[in-house]
């Protein structure tokens, strides 16, 4: 649904599907989405740093100017909320002026993040995130090899960074236009002209879009049939 709907509309669908049976799960569902987006941002940050060590581009430097402070602020706020939030909330919830609905809702949100106080959980999340980004990086490298493009890991990383930046707004279904533009833009510093770059962008878009689109559609159809039964 994130592929079909603009502006990450699939996240609303996710909340609606998972929370349809039990509205008390909404804080837990919302917390998973927030953590997922944070980890994606963290992956983009690390990937940008690795690429920027060997290549100097205006777009990357401009990205670092807002990405580094953003990561620092979000990481600090998230850490304080996870470890100090429950303590601070226990003092606030005891006040008579705190509405009951706010107490109930805040209790659910605080408890939804308590599992992240476990170091093993944090390590697992970071490890899975690293594996996902390595797979995406490797996909670019394998596609270079399949097309006979003599490009290395630096070009694969730059494609990953610029394409991810271009897809952040998610303004159109499938992100066809932004995906093609930024994938081709990433290959320009390496001397790849229009035709091979366009072919690469089309193939990469098909590889990363069609499998989850088809697989997700099949899964939703199967799930809807099982619910009817």
Is 142 a domain residue? yes
Q: How many structural domains are present in the chain?
A: 1
Domain range for 115: 10-228
Is 2 a domain residue? no
State the chain's mean pLDDT as an integer.
82
Q: Could you tell me the two tokens for 55?
A: 């290549």
pLDDT > 90: what percent of the chain? Answer: 19
Q: What is the pLDDT of residues 158-214, one digit of tens each?
A: 999 889 888 877 767 777 888 899 999 889 888 888 889 999 999 999 998 889 888
Is 4 a domain residue? no
Decide: pTM greater than 0.95.
Answer: no
Give 3-state DSSP helix, strand, coil % of the chain, rounded to 5.
Answer: 85, 0, 15
Q: What is the dihedral of CA 33, 39, 40, 41, to 10 degrees?
A: 110
Is 114 a domain residue? yes
The pLDDT score that the predictor gives to residue 57 is 59
């Amino acid at each position: 649904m994130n592929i079909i709907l603009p502006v990450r509309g699939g996240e609303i669908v996710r909340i609606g599907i998972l929370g349809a049976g039990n509205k008390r799960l909404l804080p837990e569902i919302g917390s998973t989405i927030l953590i997922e987006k944070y980890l994606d941002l963290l992956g983009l940050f690390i990937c940008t740093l690795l690429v920027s060590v060997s290549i100097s581009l205006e777009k990357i430097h401009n990205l670092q100017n807002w990405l580094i402070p953003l990561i620092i602020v979000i990481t600090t706020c998230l850490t304080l909320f996870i470890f100090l939030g429950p303590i601070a909330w226990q003092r606030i919830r005891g006040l008579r002026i705190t509405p009951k609905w706010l107490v109930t809702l805040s209790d659910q949100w605080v408890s939804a993040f308590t599992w992240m106080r476990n170091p093993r959980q944090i390590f697992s999340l970071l490890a899975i995130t690293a594996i996902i980004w390595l797979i995406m990086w490797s996909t670019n490298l394998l596609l270079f090899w399949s097309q006979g493009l003599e490009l290395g890991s630096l070009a694969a990383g730059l494609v990953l960074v610029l394409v991810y930046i271009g897809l952040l707004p998610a303004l159109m279904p499938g992100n066809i236009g932004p995906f093609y533009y930024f994938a081709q833009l990433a290959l320009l510093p390496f001397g790849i002209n229009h035709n091979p770059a366009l072919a690469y962008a089309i193939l990469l878009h098909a590889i990363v879009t069609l499998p989850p689109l088809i697989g997700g559609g099949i899964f939703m159809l199967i799930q809807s049939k099982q619910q009817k039964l």
